[in-house]
Structure 1
Amino acid sequence: MQVLFVLFVLIMHTGPAAAHALQPGYLEITQMSDAGFRIVWKKPDVAGRPMSIHVRLPAACDMASPPPPSYDGRVWSSIWLTTCAGGLDGQPVVIEGLETTRTDVLVRYRPASGPVRSERLTPQKTGFVIPANPSALSVLRSYIPLGVEHILGGIDHLLFVFALLLIIRDRWRLLFAITAFTVAHSITMAAATLKWVSLPGPPVEAVIALSIMFLASEILQQKRDQERLSERYPWAVSFSFGLLHGFGFAGALADIGLPQTDIPLALLAFNTGVELGQLIFVAAVLCVAMLLRCVWPAMVCRARAPNSAFLVGSAYFIGALSAFWFIERVTGFFA
């Protein structure tokens, strides 16, 4: 089990220092007239500078490249108007430099009439041709992978799930806890995305860090002859904090953007991707644990005992990291 902990630490440090992975880029093209278009181009921030990726519209557009971007505290944005002779249907859009990054770019094309067309560009696929006959499947192809990448890149969300795995020993309680977490964050993510409920993002992110600190303290206070609240009613704990994490997911989805005519479908696709990513993570951790149990059963048994070196070390690691995030996010209120 010590190997599992080391593996998890290494995974956590393969990404950026922030709690979330680098946000994807976002390009929105809105048709204003037969040949006129409004372009919104958002690039992720990298150490105080815009990521070195550049949008290139078709050569028929009189402004094929954007003006210098401005920074709003989260992303670098450019907004401009361009005229493209003959329109954009069947024309290529390319993100130069994307092939040298590890991020994606979500492209939304909003024609004057008809459904919004969405496309996800990656380092392996840096451009696409705007289809003349769009398919609704393009929304699913774009937003499901974005959901998977967000949860697998969101270290704070994964750390919460990992802490649940350390606390809950009964497989049925674990199943109910994961299900409750899923249901809870699905509810608040949908409510926030559809504008039924609104909470400011920075306080939500700070409280998410507190939720992880709570689970770290529960790990430390485990006893052999007495179950903690999180052990007796894990579904209640995971459901309560899952509501908060849902607001975090909604904030990420708002940064990415939603097709106005396909909001329910895009929301379902993104949430499906989040669940798939969560299941992938849980399955990976459980598979490693099962493998270790087969190879070193006695060691795993000792590691799972309350106050074992593994659990104490894990709790301090989780608590210290979440405390750092909490302080960082609270101080960000005043930045």
Structure 2
Amino acid sequence: MQSIAILGASGYTGAELVRIIATHPGMKIVALSGDRKAGMSMGEVFPHLRHLGLPDLCKIEEIDFSAVDLAFCALPHATSQAVIKELPRTLKVVDLSADFRLRDPAEYEKWYGKPHAAVELQQEAVYGLTEFYRDEIRAARLCAGTGCNAAAGQYAIRPLIEAGVIELDEIVIDLKAGVSGAGRSLKENLLHAELSGGTMPYSAGGKHRHLGEFDQEFSKLAGRPVLVQFTPHLMPFNRGILGTVYVRGNAEEIHATLAARYQGEVFLEVLPFGQLASTRSVAGSNFVHLGVTGDRLPGRALVTVAIDNLTKGSSGQAIQNANLMLGLPETMGLMLAPVFP
């Protein structure tokens, strides 16, 4: 059994890590931190986890990391840099924040508004999109989890850029995201009375921070700058992401390209041509559904992608990467079926 610490266990991604690891046959939680809720039990913070024999929440400085094999860091960006910089350099770390996703520190400062505070660690961090960086993650000490929106968009688009089957300058990502993606902190626009019954775009017009990941990853694949249009929308459901990606290319070829690239990938399911993805079909799971259809306009296609933002978009992805880093089977603990209805 690998001994696991979860830093920032009082947030949504922390709770999701606990939920999955509770039945993981190769991991045992030995420490949970939650600075503002230190001294409380997880059952008090998250009643749905009351039945589990978990350690109480504590402050990070109270954890004996010599007894820990791997730490999940589910802290806000900027906080993660400061914390991880002080952890033992022998400790394996999977970071769920944005702090180590962007390889260029100048890009981090551009998108997150402050200088990177752990540049020396950035150089060793491996980007955590598992199906595309599997070998690098297996050998990593520090793995940087992707943004949930960035993961969804990349699953739909990366193979198409690799295969050269779409026009690179005409990619539009329209994305619908559940409210848990905004975190657990109190925010006026997330109050039930202000969110329920409506929807709205946010960080539109090229302002969303996950564009930094799209720019980095798509441009690296293409060998030249690739800038996509991306507009996320906040939806009045708890969890899930649905992306509708508009591209120029042959729809049947696009479908065949995705099916070929993801053949053998346990967590990625390419639906039969013409079927479209739904968040309902992946809720609470580490699975990704992709669908492709043509358009009435010749030479255009729609690619739809559905993931659970808390699982495959964050905590499930983190555990998948941790499995690799710890030498465990990649799918261990992650074969939970989606929750329906």
TM bin (shorter chain): 0.3 to 0.5
Could you say which structure has the larger radius of gyration? 1
Larger relative helix fraction: 1
TM-score when normalising by structure 1: 0.33
Greater relative contact order, per chain length (Cα 8 Å cut-off, separation 6+): 1
Larger relative strand fraction: 2
TM-score when normalising by structure 2: 0.33
